[in-house]
Amino acid sequence: MSTAISTYSKSDYINFIVLMVLGFLVIPMTVNSDYWFTSILIPWLCLALATIGQQVIMGYTGQLALGAAGFMAAGAFACFNLILRVDGLPFFGALIISGLIAAAIGIVFGLPSLRIRGIYLMVATLASQFFIIWVIDKFGWFKNYDSSGIITAQDIVIFGRPYTTPVDMYLVILVVVTVMTILAINMARGSTGRNWMAVRDMDVAAESMGVSLLKTKLQAFAISSFFCGVAGALFAFTYLKSLEPVAFDIKLSFKILFMCILGGLGTINGAFIGAGFILLFPVLLNYLGNNVFHGAIDATIISAMEQVVFGVLMIVFMIYEPLGMARLWENTKQRLFKKKNK
Amino acid sequence: MSTIEERKFKIGDPILEVNNISLSFGGVNAITDTSFNVLEHEVRAIIGPNGAGKSSMLNCINGIYKPQKGSIAFKGDTLSKITPNIIAQMGISRTFQNLALFKRMSAIDNILVGRKLHSKANFLDVALQLPKARREEKVNLKKCEEIVEFLEIEKIKDTPVGKLPYGLQKRVELGRALATEASLLLLDEPMAGMNVEEKREMCRFILEVNEEYGTTMVLIEHDMGVVMDISDRVVVLDYGKIIGDGPPEEVRTNQNVIDAYLGVSHGE
Ligand SMILES: Nc1ncnc2c1ncn2[C@@H]1O[C@H](COP(=O)(O)OP(=O)(O)OP(=O)(O)O)[C@@H](O)[C@H]1O
Ligand SMILES: [Mg+2]
């Protein structure tokens, strides 16, 4: 249980060091297949980052927003245009500004949350998704008047050194995701996160304690969109390696929503667990289909199964464990730990 | 009360003045042309039968409802067209009749939200854990731990409040209101649904806060015994109108009040 204490416990530091050693040393040294980097680790980190954004607005602030992919698109195209048009702008600078642009758009589309809630807000935020994609499609400037519809993303260059191999790109993302995850955890555990959760759990009471609903909701929308924007830019530059609005369709928004719910609403580690599960599950199914059943099961059936299993899991989690897989993980850890002590 | 003379904070001038307010919902008149005041450092009770408009009155003072007519002044400033969070900034805090806790948060986190107005660090300070944010969090946490100790809820401070029994939830809610260090507390039936023992403890907390910090209290309570014991003055509402206002012993013998409670129809 995360109690609001700004200082971190010893086990937090140990977890952090273990994860850092794993991420920065063990994985780059032991994983030598590009497939793992380009198809699993890179999208996993990008989508986990976007899922943190979804967590902020939905898991922590309780606003049923559904348009993460729209803000990812905004971030991706902002980054493309910044690097294209601003000479000498460092990559990380472009990334931060892209996030800020997404945040500004997020504030605008967060405005309806002051009036409407629940499913209505979901529809309103969904509109933001369509609107952003429409604007990018409509005005050629965003795509630098490229008629092919698919624009290749620029290479990532940091201090004059290009980062184009899968491992390099993975490391760049890992740095960004690590820093932003720490910022997110700091906010979630601190007074910022308490204000979000207060608005989520009982807005009238929050307001009576001096929490401004307007400020808190718009702040959450801005921060959420910032995370999605940066995630979108990374996703386009390292995973897609191209910029096409269709890649950021509503399906991606739903995917991020599922990652958020399955991982556990109102958890940061759940973002990583949820994203990992949803990315790996189809891989696992395919593997089973090919290697265990030797292609006896049709690929369409496998992909249908995927949908069914996700659907069932969503319902099961919503009913029995709203805190999602992050909670299951905590419980298992506790049980293992207790057994060891006995 | 006999101890009035020995009080650390002597009852002073009006801190809150409700002037001729009327509030209606569609056709229902919840409050009709009502005026009363609350003196600084006093414990003021609002009583009345169900549906008399007591909760609506607190909601008006706290800015959740906007009365159609009349005005409310706090410390000389008229409260109009302002939201609950601005009223909180002016120094009014409250608890709710039907618990309004942050269910999925722990007890201590609930109380910490009450420190909102004493938190100056913005989200960037918090995200980057700048010294300002850390220092503030430490101070706020210490304050809240003191409240936890005062309310004797140390054991459950890390429990999500949704899982706590009713009586303890009421206590956490009082703690959250106390954490604001407001000068005026509005308590909507803080003892409803409690047993005698729990009520006695709650009374002790309320009186202690009043004595220790001079916090002015407005509380709604149905238990006449409790009202007689802890309040300095009582205002009686019935059908949105005031039918009695004065010290408890005077109100208790007021014929209108007796009639209202016994359900006698009004003569005129
Ligand atoms: N939000 C609302 N919408 C419509 N009617 C309301 C609303 N709030 C209160 N009322 C009505 O106003 C009247 C006064 O209600 P209020 O809750 O203030 O009474 P109360 O004195 O607190 O009663 P109780 O002792 O049952 O808590 C009632 O007739 C109630 O139905
Ligand atoms: Mg009431």
| B97 Cα to the center of ligand 2, angstroms | 6
Residue of A145 and B2 predicted with greater confidence: A145
Beta B184-188 vs B28-39: how paired, if at all?
Answer: unpaired
The mean pLDDT of A178-185, rounded to a whole number, is 96
* Closest residue to atom 12 of ligand 1, CA basis: B30
DSSP state, residue A146 = -
Residue of A301 and A52 predicted with greater confidence: A52
Confidence of residue A297 (pLDDT cuts 50, 70, 90): confident
Task: Name the 3-class secondary structure at B38.
Answer: strand
Of the listed ligands, the closest to the CA of B240 is: 1
Residue A251, C-beta contacts closer than 8 angstroms, at least 6 positions apart: A69
Tokens coding A311: 């659907």
**Among the atoms of ligand 1, which is closest to the Cα of residue B237?**
21
Share of chain B above pLDDT 70, in %: 96
Residue for token digits 């009713």? B166
Select from B100, B108, B109 the Cβ nearest to the Cβ of A205: B100
CA distance B201 to B152: 10
* Closest residue to atom 1 of ligand 1, CA basis: B25
pLDDT, residue B264, reads: 60
Tokens coding A70: 């729209």
Task: Name the 3-class secondary structure at A152.
Answer: strand
Which helix (H) or strand (E) segment holds residue B140: the answer is helix B131-150
pLDDT, residue A339, reads: 55
pLDDT, residue A96, reads: 97
Is residue B61 within 8 Å of residue B218, measured between CB atoms?
yes
Is residue B69 within 8 Å of residue B22, measured between CB atoms?
yes
Residue B250, C-beta contacts closer than 8 angstroms, at least 6 positions apart: none
CA-wise closest residue to B161 among B111, B98, B119: B111
Torsion of CA B124, B127, B132, B133, to 10 degrees: 120
Instruction: At B96, give phi and psi (nearest 5°).
Output: -115, 155
Residue-range domain boundaries for chain A: 10-248
Looking at the complex, report in whole angstroms how far the Cα of residue B103 sits from the nearest Cα belonging to chain A. 6
Alpha-carbon distances of B148 from A63, A243, A263, B96, B178, rounded to whole Å: 31, 54, 33, 19, 10
CA-wise closest residue to A61 among A209, A271, A213, A263: A213
Helices (H), chain A: 10-21, 27-30, 34-35, 42-54, 68-85, 91-110, 118-138, 166-189, 191-201, 203-208, 213-234, 250-263, 269-287, 299-320, 324-341
Strongest mean pLDDT among A293-302, A304-313, B56-65: B56-65
Q: Would you say the ipTM is above 0.85?
A: yes
Q: Which of B176-185, B199-208, B255-264 has the weakest average pLDDT?
A: B255-264
Distance of CA B113 to the CA centre of its chain: 17
The yes-or-no verdict on residue B267 having pLDDT over 70 is no
The mean pLDDT of A194-199, rounded to a whole number, is 97
Task: Find which of B129, B140, B173 to mutate to test the A interface (most A CBs within 10 Å of its CB).
Answer: B129
Q: Which residues of B touch A5 (CB under 8 A)?
A: 137, 141
Number of C-beta neighbours around residue B69 at 10 A: 14
Distance of CA A132 to the CA centre of its chain: 18
Distance of CA B82 to the CA centre of its chain: 18
- What A30-35 contacts at long range (C-beta under 8 Å, 24+ apart), as own/partner pairs, is A34/A166
Residue of A nearest to B125 (CA): A187
* DSSP per-residue string spanning A257-312: HHHHHHH-TT-SHHHHHHHHHHHHHHHHHHHIIIIISTT-S-HHHHHHHHHHHHHH
pLDDT, residue B36, reads: 96
Is residue A197 within 8 Å of residue B104, measured between CB atoms?
yes
The yes-or-no verdict on residue B16 having pLDDT over 60 is yes
Residue of B263 and A61 predicted with greater confidence: A61
Strongest mean pLDDT among A37-41, A235-239, A334-338: A235-239
Residue of B nearest to A266 (CA): B104
pLDDT, residue A35, reads: 87
Angle in degrees, CA A177, A172, A75, rounded to 5: 65
Task: Name the 3-class secondary structure at A179.
Answer: helix
| A297 Cα to the center of ligand 1, angstroms | 63
CA-wise closest residue to A55 among A238, A231, A240, A307: A231
**Among the atoms of ligand 1, which is closest to the Cα of residue B26?**
4
Q: Which of A285-294, B32-41, B94-103, B246-255 has the weakest average pLDDT?
A: A285-294
CA distance A161 to A155: 10
Record: contact B137-A210, CB cut-off 8 A: no
Record: contact A192-B114, CB cut-off 8 A: no
pLDDT, residue A149, reads: 64
pLDDT, residue A249, reads: 92
Residue for token digits 């809240």? B144
CA distance B106 to B159: 5
Task: Name the 3-class secondary structure at B188.
Answer: strand
Is residue B18 within 8 Å of residue B34, measured between CB atoms?
yes
Residue B239, C-beta contacts closer than 8 angstroms, at least 6 positions apart: B29, B32, B52, B53
Select from A6, A183, A195 the Cβ nearest to the Cβ of B137: A6
Q: Which residues of A touch B138 (CB under 8 A)?
A: 6
Tokens coding B241: 């109108």
The yes-or-no verdict on residue B7 having pLDDT over 90 is no
CA-wise closest residue to A261 among A175, A169, A327, A195: A327
CA distance A213 to B63: 14
**Residue B139 identity (one-letter amino acid):** V
> What are the tens digits of pLDDT across the range B142-168?
999 999 999 999 999 999 999 999 999
Q: Of how many residues is chain A composed? A: 342
Confidence of residue B5 (pLDDT cuts 50, 70, 90): low
Q: Which of A151-155, A265-269, B85-89, B238-242 has the weakest average pLDDT?
A: A151-155
CA distance A266 to A194: 11
| B212 Cα to the center of ligand 1, angstroms | 33
pTM: 0.91
Is residue A41 within 8 Å of residue A231, measured between CB atoms?
no
| Substitution candidate for ligand 1 out of B34, B55, B64, B191 with most atoms within 8 A of CB | B55
> What are the tens digits of pLDDT across the range A246-261?
999 999 999 999 999 9
Question: How many Cα atoms occupy the beta-carbon half-sphere of B61 within 13 Å?
Answer: 30
**Among the atoms of ligand 1, which is closest to the Cα of residue B57?**
18
| Substitution candidate for ligand 1 out of B18, B28, B31, B188 with most atoms within 8 A of CB | B28
CA distance A271 to B97: 37
The mean pLDDT of A175-203, rounded to a whole number, is 96
Q: Is A225 left (phi over 0), alpha (psi -120 to 50) or beta?
A: alpha
Instruction: At B114, give phi and psi (nearest 5°).
Output: -60, -20
What chain B holds in terms of domains, given with CATH numbers, is 1-91+187-268 (3.40.50.300), 104-181 (no CATH)
pLDDT, residue B104, reads: 93
Residue B68, C-beta contacts closer than 8 angstroms, at least 6 positions apart: B22, B23, B24
pLDDT, residue A209, reads: 96
**Among the atoms of ligand 1, which is closest to the Cα of residue B54?**
21
pLDDT, residue A103, reads: 97
